[in-house]
Structures are given as C-alpha cells and as structure tokens.
Structure 1
C-alpha cells in the first residue's frame, strides 16, 4: 500500500476530486496554502495499492495543468518594491506528488 500526497492548485481541485472518484480512488482533500505565491492549494491524501499508483498518478497528470500568471515582484520580494514595479510572469498549477510507503492500513 502507498500514500500519495498530491498538492494541486485550487482551480484544479474539484475536477481532480471528480476524476479520482470516477477512477475508483478514495481521497481526502485538505485545504492548504502555497509558500511562494501564498495562493490557495489543495492537498489530496490518496491511499492506493502499489500496483495502482501509476494509474492514480495518470489521473492527476491529466487533470492538473500548469498555467501562467502575472504577479508583482513586490509580492515575491518586498525588499525590491522601489526598483521593480512591472508584473512578472510565473508558472503556477500542475501537481506536486509524494509517494510514501504505508506500513499498515485500517478502515473502521
């Protein structure tokens, strides 16, 4: 058994939840906040059998997409407020996944 921790952008979370359920995967959804842009994220806890890890990752990959977003540099670096005022384009979204071993799984 494996535990997939998938951190996705809020914009993709509902669609991912729907696709996971349709794919037969159970997931717990937790609200979270990114450290870089301080934007809303969602962390999914997905318990899967080892042979189904690739299938779950495939659902995540097909559902969570990167996109570009403009942010002001002062948002990223407050100390640069006086020298940089034009928005900067950054990549956001997609998914960051961690696959962890599970020693024991119990459902009540």
Structure 2
C-alpha cells in the first residue's frame, strides 16, 4: 500500500477528484496555500495499492497540465524587488510524493 500526497492548483481539483473517484481511487482533500504565488492549492491524500500506482500517476499527469499565466507585479515594499511590468509564471502541474504505508485500516 502507498500513500500519495499530491499538491495541485485549485483550478484542477474538481476535474481530478471526479476522475479519481470514477476510477475507484480513495482520496481525501485538504485545503492548502502555495508559498510562491500565495495562491490556493489543494493537497490530496490518496491511498493506492502498489500495483495501481502507475495508473494513478498517469491520471494525475493527464488532468494537471502546466500552463502560463500573466501576473501583475507585487505591491512595492521596502525590501521587495522593484517590478513594474506584468510577468509570466508557469502554474499547474502537480507535486507528487509517494510514501510506503506500513499499516492501513478502515474502521
């Protein structure tokens, strides 16, 4: 058994959870916030049998594609870098962490 911790952008969460539950994966959703863009993220905890791990990762890759967005410059503060023009940032995709589960019980 594996525990897959997946951090994705909020824009992808509904589609991914629908796809995961349709394919009989067990998933728990946690709200989280990214550090760099301070944007809404979602952390998913997914329990999966070792034999289905590749299928799970492929599903995540299919739904959570990267894309570019235009960001407005941040407000100026004393210690901030001076930026006046909007800039492109790559968002989306997924961060996937796979852990071994020594014991799993559903009560």
Common fold by TM > 0.5: yes
Shift of 1:72: 3.1
Question: Deviation of residue 69 (structure 1)?
Answer: 1.2
- CA distance in 1 between counterparts of 2:96 and 2:53 reads 11
Q: How does 1:10-89 map to 2 (within 5 A)?
A: 10-74=10-74, 79-80=80-81, 83-89=82-88
Provide the aligned C-alpha RMSD in A.
1.4
Question: Could you list the runs of 4 or more consecutive aligned residues of structure 1 that deviate by over 6 angstroms after TM superposition?
Answer: none
TM-score norm. by structure 1 comes to 0.91
Q: Which runs of 5+ in 2 are unaligned?
A: none
Q: Indicate the structure with greater helix content.
A: 1
Residues 40-89 of structure 1: CA distance to partner in whole angstroms, max 9, x if unpaired?
A: 011100000111100111110101111111123436x9612xx3200110
Partner of 2:90: 91
**Where does structure 1 lack aligned partners over 5 or more consecutive residues?**
none
1:8 aligns with 2:3: no
CA distance in 1, matches of 2:88, 2:66: 13
Whole-Å Cα distance in 2 between the matches of residues 98 and 19 of structure 1?
Answer: 19
Normalized against structure 2, the TM-score is what?
0.92
